[in-house]
Amino acid sequence: MQNHMQRRDLLRCLAGVGSLAGLHPLSVFAGQNNPESTAAAARAGSSRIAPVASAKNLVIVVNMLGYNQHTFNPQADDLNSSPLLAQLKDHHGDLTVFKGIMQPEIVRGHNGGRGILTCNKNQTNGPYISLDQLASEHLQQATRHKSVHMGHKTIVWNKNSRAVPTLHELGPQKIFDHLFGETSTEAIERKLKSIRTMRRSLPKENRAAYVASFEEHERSLATDLEWAKKPVPKVEFDTKLHLTDHHGRGVLDPFQQHLALIRLGIKHRRGQVFVASPPFVDKTKYGVSIGYHALGHRAHLEKSIFDDMLMLEQHFFTCLSDFLTDLKRDQLLDDTIVLFVGAFSSPGGHSREYLPTVLAGGGFDHQGLVECQNPAKPHGPLRHTLSQLYVSILHQLGIDVHAFSGHEGNLDKLLT
């Protein structure tokens, strides 16, 4: 009974600590007498390595509805032949478009999109960690938050394969407060004192596992406290909603507001790894008569519906272009890796013959357009896969891994 009570008290303490430190309170037990969790960690690429200091930032934008293949894919090598990629004409020298890239493990259908950042087809029960979380786990904390999730609620997964809560639908004011608001140091200090007290009275059984987890939480809290004590930069930002989405879920922020918040977060060292997603725009001032999801299903039926979808897609690419322009103006583009991905190659059919993918900035040796399929063997192995791109992104951040989600290989020779 005493051991049971001690374990319950430890869980209660860890739950409180985890809510502040952004860690899952049950992680202390994940590896206990469970060889599967050890194997899962290896597959995820989250082996224990010393955190690295990196001057690079990572911004991942995932459009869960994808882009129409007739508007994204350029003809031959001309990026301007794509009405979407043409919106990025001012930055064609700063980006690489991966034509035909895919990952065989990411299957068709809506639910397959859950694995877009893990390269895993069954993320609900899978052991894999998403690209952003793997990156932030291995980075030394050099900003107020190592990672900020503002994207779709089903694409970011921690090392315990649990969905990370998102700020996506909370509104621009709450996102702004998360990045630039004052943090109470008293609450953090209480948690830190509590965990240190609990650590001195840990049970003898499985003590090593408890100690390791407590030390991890203590380090996270100490870093959190250090940042909470630093002066918060005074930043002017319009947090009013200028684009509403009556989709039965209240309002969603306009995409450009999210990107502007990310740029400010990078500029003022409030975050290093960010995930964002365009909102599911519905009956907005842009003049579309049906929702974005419905547009994807019906774009092939009528030219007017196709035109509506193209207009919204071009709007998202224009937002990306403006974001890259602002990063370049602030001299941040070379130090910011921007990954812009669509979750479908055909939004209406929910298919993934390829994944529309653009990589920009980050100091890469950009190639303009890279063909990832093998024209001589259209149904054969790919020249380049999404997992290989992810490994190269991690390398560019200074993280030494040789595989992602169990898939070895990289694109370093192509991009660096």
pLDDT digits (tens, 9 = 90+) for 308-330: 888 888 888 999 999 999 999 99
pLDDT exceeds 50 at position 44: no
Q: Is the dihedral of CA 180, 184, 185, 189 positive or negative?
A: negative
Q: Are the C-beta atoms of 328 and 93 separated by less than 8 Å?
A: no
Residues 6+ apart with CB under 8 A from 193: none
Q: What is the mean pLDDT of residues 170-178?
A: 90
pLDDT value, residue 339: 98
Q: How confident is the model at residue 234 (pLDDT cuts 50, 70, 90)?
A: very high
pLDDT of residue 166: 94
The secondary structure of residue 74, as a DSSP letter, is: P
Q: Does residue 247 carry a pLDDT above 50?
A: no
Residue type at 27? Answer: S
Q: Give the residue from 167, 163, 135, 139 showing the smallest Cα distance to 223.
A: 139
Instruction: Say which residue, 333 or 223, is predicted with more confidence.
Output: 333
Q: How many CB atoms lie within 10 A of CB 299?
A: 23
Q: Quick one: which of 344, 348, 379, 360 has its CA closest to 72?
A: 344
Average predicted confidence (pLDDT) for the chain = 80
Q: What is the DSSP letter of 130?
A: P
Q: Of 61-65, 158-162, 317-321, where does the model show the most confidence?
A: 317-321
Q: Regarding the domain delimited by 51-181+240-415, which CATH topology (the fold level of the hierarchy) does it fall under?
A: Alkaline Phosphatase, subunit A (3.40.720)
Report how far residue 221's alpha carbon sits from residue 212's, in angstroms, rounded to the nearest whole number: 14
For the chain, percent of residues with pLDDT exceeding 90: 39
| CA-based nearest residue to 83, from 277, 317, 305, 359 | 317
Q: Which residue has the tokens 């995409």?
A: 255
- CA-CA-CA-CA torsion sign (368, 374, 378, 379): negative
Distance from C-alpha of 341 to C-alpha of 123, rounded to nearest angstrom:
18
Task: Tell me the per-residue pLDDT of 383-406, one tens digit each, with 9 for 90 and over.
Answer: 889 999 999 999 999 999 999 988
| Least confident piece of the model among 40-44, 75-79, 410-414 | 40-44
3-state secondary structure of 25: helix
Interior angle at CA 15, CA 9 and CA 19, nearest 5: 155
Model confidence at 243, in pLDDT bands (50, 70, 90)? low
φ, ψ dihedrals at 80, nearest 5°: -70, -10
pLDDT for the residue numbered 348: 65
Tell me the percentage of the chain whose pLDDT exceeds 70: 77
Question: Cα-flanking dihedrals φ and ψ of residue 336, to 5°?
Answer: -125, 115
Say which DSSP state 301 is in.
Answer: T
Which residue ranges make up each domain of the chain? Answer: 1-30+184-231, 51-181+240-415
Q: Please give the pLDDT value at position 312.
A: 82
Read off the pLDDT band of 270 (50, 70, 90). very high
Is it the case that residue 288 has pLDDT exceeding 90? no
What is the maximum alpha-carbon separation in the chain? Answer: 71
Give the end-to-end CA distance of the chain in Å, rounded to a whole number: 59
pLDDT, residue 200, reads: 78
Assign 94 to helix, strand or coil.
helix
Residue 236 has pLDDT above 50, yes or no: yes
Secondary structure E strands in 195-284: 271-276
| pLDDT exceeds cutoff 80 at 411 | yes
